Structures are given as structure tokens and as C-alpha cells.
A and B are shown apart, each in its own frame.
Chain A
Amino acid sequence: MDFLNIVANVINPQCILLIVVGVVIGNVFGCIPGLNGPIAVALVLPITFTLDVIPSMALIMGIYMGSISGGLVSAILLKIPGTAASVATTFDGYPMTQKGRATDALSYGAFASVFGGLFSAIVLLLLAPVLSKMAIGFGPWEYFGTAVLALSLVCSLLSGKRIKAFIAMLVGLLVKMVGMSPVDSVAIRYTFGNAMLENGFDLVVIIIGIFALPEIIHNIGKINEKVTPAKIEKRIFFIPKLHEIKENFLVMIQGSIIGTVIGILPGMGGGAASLISYEQAKRTSKHPEKFGTGYEPGIFSCESANNATSGGALVPMLALGVPGDTVTAIIMGAIAMQGITAGPMLSMGQPELFKTIIFIVFVANIVMYLFQISTIRFMAQIIKVPKYLLFPIIAVFCAIGVISIRNSMFDLFSLFFFIVIGYVLDKNGYPLSPFILASVLGTSVETNLRRSIMYYNSFGGCLKQISIGTLFFALAVGIPAILAVLNLVRKKKVPVEEGRREQG
């Protein structure tokens, strides 16, 4: 009976309509650079005050799920990641588009998204109270260790370019240090007296500057090349073939687990999840060399991971009252406006509402999937637009998106700065994913290091802690060190010339 009640709460015209509206809004916000899920949720927040709890959750969850997957469309078709979460999607998605397989790439992305979303929703339903213990176990030192390990691993996995990867990562950390120091807000760093820099650079500005626009500059040389775009099939729904799902099933499970776990940890987010999942898939793959050339598992791994963070982020919010990311923080606010406090009392005191919210997540994921696979046909038309028309439009879009973040022209100037950095790094063979991951995690690394030192009085005091944080930190330092030693040993054996080529 309980279950029927929950279904009846959600499966009614009002709720379904709100979910559909939410998914559409979320998708639009997700695929336009500069706009994102948190902005969309914040914009509809006042509307939810006039609704009851369940309809307002329907609208917000629709937007949340829609915005996370919306990013894949622009990432795959245009190589413009709308948010950090879809950065990794561009690695294999865009090469597939270039090979004329845009619709395939979109259908894989959509499928992996719904897979990750549903996976994490099931985890949320079954294990929320248990998993929330994990969030409790993580303090500043553990977050610091995890973030540093993530950075170190992403660099170490880029074999052949490791030194350049570490340089790119450090430049990313340096860029994230611009502005007021975290924790005490006393030191103002690298601003050269410019007050606009005190808040640092916005992540979206960095991502658009590093990824989207250098790609356009890169392509201008080929602007008049005649390419006959692949024919777009007139199918209504684009679903991956059964054998493709089978082949990538394990990759998706792995991505979903990584996404869910990272989602549970406040402050990590979809950007870190998808990049780590992508590198992990590459590491465990039989054909790591195919990644980055339009290889299917590349899309399956990162899209399942970034959607799985949504369910993960809801775990600590619903079970502990601690939001896992920006959107869940706003959702908590929206629930509070209804007079309900998310936290330990919610699952105990109102189990039906708790389960209804999770059921909404399920339905929203399915609606999102149906919406995406049925719009692939229209979305893919973008690639038919000639480049001399498309590029200026994208550039204008990016510029408007960047200005709209804080209504600040200064962000537009910093965009130019990052275009230069992105172009120079890319032209010189520096990998961009460590740079992006460093700008995603930079603040978290710094803040949590400072907090850890406050907790244990000194850095040495932190290292004496017997905790997962110490282990992760040791691995983060140890793995690159071992790789470096191995490299030196090997270099001694082979002639110098060859060694150089290997490293380059």
C-alpha cells in the first residue's frame, strides 16, 4: 500500500507535467555554456514556494536531472562542455561527431546518462542511511587526500606526457589561487590590486576559455574544407544496439559506482567524477590507445559517472542534512521553505516523503532519457550548419554565456586570457584534463589542507593521522615518484635519443 501511495503521489498530471517542464528547462540550461543546473534551480525557486512539497520536488528534480545530461549535447556536437561535468564527454564524443557518428555518440551519451542516474537512485533508495556514514567519515584531511590523489592519478595515467600533465595541473592550481585566500579571507593573492579578481576566476569562464574557443581558432584553418555531413537517420528514438550496451556494461557500472561515491562526498562534483571515471576506464581498457579518438567506452564511462553523482549528492542531503553539491544545497533550501528540514529526521519521521523524492528522481531520469533520445534527430542538425556560420554563432554564445554568469564584462576579458592559455597549452602538447581537474578541485585542495593543519596543528601532525587521508596522500606522492624512478631506470638502458622520444 505504501508503494502505491508513493506512485500515486508522483504519477499524476501535475507532477508529470512539472517533471517534463523541469527536464526541458534543465536540458536547455545544461547545454548552453554559462548557464547551468544551479542557476536554473535558483531561478525556479520562487515558483516552488507556491507549490506543495511533492510538485515542487518534481520541478526541481526534473531540472537537476535534465541539466546534468543536457551538457552532453553541446559537448559531443560542438566540443563545448556546458559545465565541468561534461568536459570528459568531449574527449571521445567530439571525435565521433567528426567521424560522422554524431547521432550514435548522442544515443550512447543519453543511454549512459540514464543508466548512471537510475543506478545511483537505486543506491540512494537502498543504502542512503548506510552510505551517509561514509560522508561522516570524511573530514578535511580525507578530502585533501582524495583530491590530491585524483589530481595525481589523472596526471600519472597520461603516459608519455606525464611531465607536461603535471605542469598543466600546477598551472591550473595556480590559476585557482587567484583571489581571496580561503578559510580566513585575509590574503588577497595575484590580483595586482584589481578588485575584480578578488573572487577568483569562475570555473565556467575557465572551461569555455580553455576548451571551446581554442577549438574554434584551431578549426579556422579548415573553415573552407568541404565535408559532406553524415546522413541523419529519420528515427524517432535513438537507442544503442544491444551488443553495444553489452560491451560497455562493465564500463557503465564502473562509471556509476565512481560517480555515486564521488557524489556522496560534498564538494567533489560531476566534473571530478567524469574525469576520474574516464581515466579509470582508459586504464582498465584493453585498448587504451583508442581513447580520445572517438571510442565508445569513453562516452559511456564519463556520462554514466556524471549522472550518477546526482543520486550520490542526494544521499548526504536527505540522510544527514548536508548537501553534496550546489544544486542539492538549493534543493535543501527549497524543502526548508516548505517547513521541512532535510536531514536525519526526514527519513525517520517522514519515510513516505523520503521515498517519494527518490521515486521522483527515477521518473525524472526516465523522462530525461525519452526527451533526449527523441530530440537527437533535431539536435544533430547542428552539424549540418556550415562552419563559417556555426563558429561565429558559437563564439557569440560563449561570450554571452560568460557575461551572464555575474553580469560582468571583466569575465569576458578573463575569457580572452584563458583562450590564450588554452591555445598555448594545446599547441605545445600539454594535456588539458589535468588543468581542468585542478581548477575544479583547486579550492577544495587548498581549503582542506588549511583546515587539516588547524585540526592537527601542523602538516606533520596531519601525516601522523592513521586515516584514509594519509593513505591517499602517500599514494598521490608515491605513484608519480615510482613512475619517475622506473622511467629513469629504463632511460639508462636505452639510448638517450630514444628516451627523449618516449618522453616527448
Chain B
Amino acid sequence: MKKRFLGILMAAVMCMAAGCGSKEAPAEEDLGTQTTETEEADAVQEEDAAQEEAGQEEEAEDGQASVWVPEKEITIVVPYEAGGNTDIPTRIFAQYMSKYSDKEVAITNIVGAGGRTGVKEVMSADPDGYTFVLQASGFAMQSALGVADFTYEDLDEVGYFLDSSMAIVVRADSSYETLEDLIEAAKAAPGNIKMGSVSGTLPLFGSLYLEEKNGITFNNVDLDGAAKATELLGSRIETYIDGFGAVKQYIDSGDFRCLAIFSDTAPAGYEDIPTLGKLGYDGYGYLKQNFGIWAPKGTDPAAIAYVNNLLKQAAEDEECIAALEAISYGACYTTPEEHTAILEETYAAFVKAAEMIVQ
């Protein structure tokens, strides 16, 4: 009897476990992280073999070292929440990368510790050319602040693909008509103007930049990343800095007034908003919200070149440009070398800027 019970029990547990597995499998497939089923995979492999041959022929013709062609889908880890400000443009971009790739370019979200969990996961991943991670401007900052224990030197750069500018906004009924008004007010009452930003993010450095350039101090307060606008709508703060894409709709709806944009040129349709460049500021290049791709250290340069080429093709795709513009992001393209050079500069700039915080 006992044995039979045990048998039933085991069977039941296995069924449950299997049931659970099969329930999750299709769901995971949706996300695109699951490898394809065996039959498909076989077919795919044959295809790949053909492609590889073709690739080798090309190689012979071009006389290059090696041409890397993916055999399975490429995963880009977005170290932030699905559906967030970083996730959405990356997903849109990945769709267009897939368009030019032999294999799907999938997005996985590994969330935690201000994005560091995802980066660390990828740093320890196999550098086989199938795993990449989104590089956000935040990591240079976190490194400068001593929060992140890795720098750009611990990963391989693949290239930038997105940029957007920050904007400083006040309520539309505020008495600050221009950035100058705000700065004068801050001079008159040091440490009294409540300037919002999410701690440890780029907007905080935007605020520090303004403080340093004008010799003023704000009362820098921390905002909830998901509910920044409500603090200004509710008049609990005087002003805050955020990505232009995030505040655009409040400017459109007439709730906010934008005092300045942290760039040389204003976005299309908003030419009447002054830029820091026009206002005579300089050295704010590191305050750009730009996104790039990192690969684990030691990834095959040929694989990096392949993905970089996808970035280039997607960044030049007109539909892609339009889709990103709709949410106020601009597609851009750099080579891996340029990416490294910009990061080098950015990291240095943040180390300098961080000294202001630590003081």
C-alpha cells in the first residue's frame, strides 16, 4: 500500500511540476527568451549551416578575418522595469534591429539596484555574442558616486543608439518666466528653492551643474521615479529636471513651462524653448541621456561588429526614427570606438561633478 501511495504521490508531484513548466513555457516564449522548439531548431540549424557557408564564401571574397552570424536569438538585457522610460525606446529600437538581423533581437528585463543587477548579470555571462546589456548614462554617475563597482572598462562597448535631452520645468503659473529668474531667486534665498530629481540619476547632476555654473544652491529633494510630475503639479516643489520626453505632455497640456533644454538645439516643434547653448552655457555634454549597448568583456569583435551594424541600420530606418520621435527620443549611431571615447569623457566628467556632492 505504502509503495503505491508513494508512487501516486511522485506521479502527482511530477505532473504538477510538468504542468507548471508547460504553463510557463509559452509565456516565456512570448518574452522571447525561450529557445525555439526542437523541430524548428533543426530547421533553423540547417538554414544556419547554409548561411554560414554563404558567410564563409563572402569571407573568402572580402578577405576579412571572420564574419560572425548569429545562430540563435540575441538578447539585450534592459536593467530597468518593463514598460519604463528606458525600456520602451529600447524595445522599439530592438524591433528594428530584428528587422535587419537573421535572428530575433529580444529584450529581457533584469531589474534591481538602479540597474546594476542587470549589468552584473551580463558581466558574468558567457561572452558568446548573444548577451548584451543596455548602457544608460546612470552607470557613469553611479561609478563616480562609488555606488557601482564597475566602469566602462569592465565591459566591451558596442555603440550608442539613442539620445534625448533633459529639460528644466516650472509650473505654468509660476513667477519664473526664464531660467535667469529662477537663478536670481536661488541667489536671493540660497538653499530655499526646492529642486526635484530622482537621487543618483542624471537630473540630479543637471541640478548640480546649474548650481556650480551660477554659484547658487538649491534644496535638492528626492522624487519618486514613477510620480515626478505630481510633485510639481501639487506645488510641493518649485522646479524639477527630467527627460524632455517625460515632461513634453505637460508642456503641451499647459501645466508646465520649460525654462531650458540641456542641449544645443531644441527638439523639432519646440524651437521657442531656449537651450543651454543659446543661453551661453558650456560643458554640459555629459548631461545627455544617451543609451548604448555593452557586451561582456571578451566578446568576439566580429560579434560586436555584427550588432553594431544592426544598430546602424536601425538608426537609419525612417520608420524607426519616426517611432522614436513620437516619444521624444532621437536615434543616433556611433562606432564601438567612439562609444568608448565618449564614455571615457563622461566618466571623467562625472568624477569631477561627484566631488561637488561628496564635499
Contacts and interface: CB of A to CB of B under 8 A. Distances in A.
Nearest to A334: B83
Contact of B233 (A32, A44, A136, A333): A136
A180 B115 CA distance: 13
A451 B117 CA distance: 25
Contact of B83 (A198, A329, A339, A345): A329
Interface in B58-105: 81-84, 87-88, 91-92, 95
Nearest to A454: B221
Nearest to B109: A42
Nearest to A195: B120
Interface string B12-50: 110011001001100110111000000000000000000
B230 to A, nearest CB: 5
Contacts of A199: 112-113, 117
Contacts of B113: 180, 185, 198-199
Residue of B107, B231, B236 ringed by the most chain A CB atoms within 10 A: B236
A43 B30 contact: yes
Contact of B84 (A32, A333, A348, A400): A333
Nearest to B253: A344
B326 interface: yes
A43 to B, nearest CB: 5
Interface in B176-228: 194, 199-200, 219-224, 226-227
B114 interface: yes
Nearest to A322: B227
A343 B5 contact: no
B250 interface: yes
A410 interface: no
Contact of A49 (B12, B91, B236): B91
Given A136-B233, A392-B13, A454 B83 contact: no
Given A45-B83, A139-B234, A329-B84, A344 B255 contact: yes
Contacts of A344: 249-250, 253, 255
A237 interface: no
B271 interface: no
Nearest to A338: B326
Residue of B147, B223, B224 ringed by the most chain A CB atoms within 10 A: B224
Interface residues of A, number: 60
Contacts of B272: none
A134 B5 CA distance: 59
A337 interface: yes
A139 B231 contact: yes
A383 interface: no
A396 B13 contact: yes
A486 interface: no
A288 interface: no
B82 A348 contact: no
B27 A43 contact: yes
B186 to A, nearest CB: 16
A182 B297 CA distance: 31
Contacts of B147: 185-186
A367 interface: no
Contacts of A316: 227, 230
B13 A332 contact: no
A199 B343 CA distance: 27
B323 to A, nearest CB: 7
A481 interface: no
B4 to A, nearest CB: 12
A450 B249 contact: no
A457 B194 CA distance: 11
Contacts of B237: 455
A235 B51 CA distance: 60
B249 A42 contact: no
A42 B30 CA distance: 10
A93 interface: no
Contact of A323 (B8, B112, B226, B253): B226
B226 A329 contact: yes
A331 interface: yes
Contacts of A160: none
A28 B13 contact: no
Interface string B320-349: 000100110000000000000000000000
Given A49-B91, A343-B250, A389-B9, A400 B20 contact: yes
A384 to B, nearest CB: 14
B81 A329 contact: yes
B249 A341 contact: yes
A339 B323 CA distance: 7
Contact of A450 (B32, B112, B222): B222
Given A28-B23, A336-B88, A47 B30 contact: yes
Interface string B258-281: 000000000000000000000000
Given A339-B326, A393-B13, A397-B20, A183 B222 contact: yes
Interface in A385-442: 388-389, 392-393, 396-397, 400, 404
B318 interface: no
A498 interface: no
A195 to B, nearest CB: 9
A46 B30 contact: yes
A267 interface: yes
Given A46-B31, A266-B226, A343-B249, 12 more contacts: A43-B27, A49-B95, A138-B234, A184-B200, A185-B147, A199-B113, A333-B87, A343-B250, A388-B5, A388-B9, A400-B20, A457-B219
Q: Which 4 pairs, one residue from A and one from B, show the smallest C-beta to C-beta distance? A: A333-B83, A330-B83, A344-B253, A42-B82
Interface of A: 25, 28, 32, 40, 42-47, 49, 135-140, 180, 183-186, 198-199, 266-267, 316, 320-323, 326, 329-334, 336-337, 339, 341, 343-345, 348, 388-389, 392-393, 396-397, 400, 404, 447, 450-451, 454-455, 457
10 contacts: A44-B27, A138-B230, A183-B199, A267-B224, A322-B230, A337-B88, A337-B92, A343-B249, A454-B220, A457-B219
